[in-house]
Structure 1
């Protein structure tokens, strides 16, 4: 009888532990909203921004994403682009965070948070040509010296989208805009979001090109903080002839050794590649992203995650997944589900 009671007690304990773990790591609601963006600074402060109609909201976590503050209003952008990778973008440096958002006329608005005061302010617009970014697709990044970098689709030349770039220094406004790539066939892929990553003086930009009817991913890099860029280099060996835009710009990271890693979709398949090397097929899916050594994508309504040397894992259902891996190997995931922003520790 004692043996039976002991086994029963152990079984109940294991069931309780399993239920506790499931609850502890279940997804939690943050707020109504769409298209969340996620950053983590040197001090481990987690910041999330997202859009709700024409408003931009911000929330912060001091405990690795276990709990978040009540969202506060960053600003409002009339007729803001929101959805399908369009929406507020976020980057954080040592002392500041910057948010950009594009209205449907093509103006790139910007807001800056001073970490010390926790105050947001509206700053100079990013684009220096009126209504030049109506496609609404932009990415931003920051370095450790409070410099910010932006890359977007811009059609000021011949009404065709090409890859435009600007920087923001701590004590000045956004720099004069410049094109880092113009397609010899007039335009790049018309509605795929470009990516930018920064490490020290290295700035790398990835974009989906349009050449000879194919829509492949290309990379250009700078070794001097964005002053000059290399010739663009095609990623992977295969090609994707396609008449329409896939609306899938891929993901891009730089590791501690300054190696560039990319992940992207081609014809419904997810590939990983480093510059100058053959691509590796990972899975089937779309809406690809990268954060550190983590690959993310969508497979139907499922959102997936995979370490470079690990196995794929479903972490929920929804879209617009953003992730971050902490030094203890725990992972924070933030995404959109049913017009709400949700989060989960893994």
Structure 2
């Protein structure tokens, strides 16, 4: 833990004796039936939840920082909606503008300019038909409201990482750009990519690569105002030789001023890397996510059937929920943390749980 603490302090992350993983749950909301939750918030603390059910894309709004949510609003029915294993809708919020992206036959966006009351028709983002059919993507929002979407793309036959940008809240999108092509035919075919802006508008994109049998996480960054991405770099010191896709893409954390960390899985173990690139083992598991909240790095992941949580640098992870998976976490602008995850119950249809800590 001393090594982890030093890495986080170098990244500008503070510590507290009160681990987020041990703080009291302020509120708990259950939504059924629902799957693959994602969260977003505006600068005023208004929170949005999106999720899928069958071929329906739905959203709910919270005006009290995620303690309660309103009735569901149906954004659209999307034939062949990709849903499950990190496939599903993504959401971005900037003022009254709310944007949803999702993949059916194509990668599409839906826009609302009136706080989610009405929604546009679908706008196709990928400019080669069916090239986004693997169904894995991510959506990031810059401080000025610009949007960046990244996805796994098959337009050249082998899987590569592509991206596109919108300056009008998803009404229109730029020409698709290749972010990364593996020198060994294809990136990992079924691990979701991630994209994150920091507070200064710097952008990071992360994906699982596939080179000579090694399936490790890689990252490329783009400075605010720049047009080109950096040369991609491998994350961590170790490598994972595996003959197949682990279907687990990890998550980026933004420290600010162009510094990014990440949390990800290798061979059934969860690692954290700070901006320096050094890796630290957090525990056993899969499907990790992480976020910087109130100056602390909070992480959660699946360990068998359980969701476990940890504040980095504050001891071992603790069990939080049973039969829980595919968590997402959101740091609220005014402080505090929201966590949403799928949870199966014996007598109820599968649903999602949203908790404020």
Q: Normalization by structure 1: what TM-score?
A: 0.88
Deviations 1:142-177 (Å, cap 9, x if unpaired)? 1121210000000101x1110001001117611000
Aligned to 1:304: 308
**Equivalent residue pairs, number:** 322
Gap change, CA 1:187 and 1:334, over 3 Å in 2? same
Is 1:84 paired with 2:64?
no
Aligned to 2:98: 97
Gap change, CA 1:226 and 1:193, over 3 Å in 2? farther
Q: Distance in 1 between matches of 2:89 and 2:226?
A: 23
Q: Distance in 1 between matches of 2:201 and 2:214?
A: 32
Gaps (5+ residues) in structure 1?
Answer: 1-21
Is 1:69 paired with 2:70?
yes
**Distance apart, 1:321 and its partner CA:** 0.9
Gaps (5+ residues) in structure 2?
Answer: 1-22, 345-349
Deviations 1:285-325 (Å, cap 9, x if unpaired)? 00011222221211111112222233423221311211223
Relative to structure 2, which stretch is displaced further, 27-36 or 71-80?
27-36
Aligned to 1:266: 266
**Distance apart, 1:31 and its partner CA:** 3.1
Is 1:42 paired with 2:47?
no
Aligned to 1:334: 340
Aligned to 2:326: 320
Aligned to 1:169: 167
Paired residues of 2:45 and 2:333 also in contact (CA < 8 A): no
Paired residues of 1:235 and 1:275 also in contact (CA < 8 A): no
**Distance apart, 1:118 and its partner CA:** 3.5
Gap change, CA 1:74 and 1:304, over 3 Å in 2? same
1:148-227 alignment to 2 at 5 Å? 148-157=147-156, 159-170=157-168, 173-199=172-198, 200-225=200-225, 227=227
Aligned Cα root-mean-square deviation (Å): 2.0
Q: Distance in 1 between matches of 2:256 and 2:231?
A: 24
Q: Distance in 2 between matches of 1:59 and 1:341?
A: 13
Paired residues of 1:61 and 1:67 also in contact (CA < 8 A): yes
Aligned to 2:140: 141
Paired residues of 1:151 and 1:195 also in contact (CA < 8 A): yes
Aligned to 1:238: 238
**Distance apart, 1:129 and its partner CA:** 0.6
Deviations 1:312-341 (Å, cap 9, x if unpaired)? 232213112112234675322211112212
Deviations 1:156-205 (Å, cap 9, x if unpaired)? 01x11100010011176110001010111111000000100012331110
Q: Distance in 2 between matches of 1:201 and 1:152?
A: 20
Q: Distance in 1 between matches of 2:122 and 2:187?
A: 29
1:46-61 alignment to 2 at 5 Å? 46-61=47-62
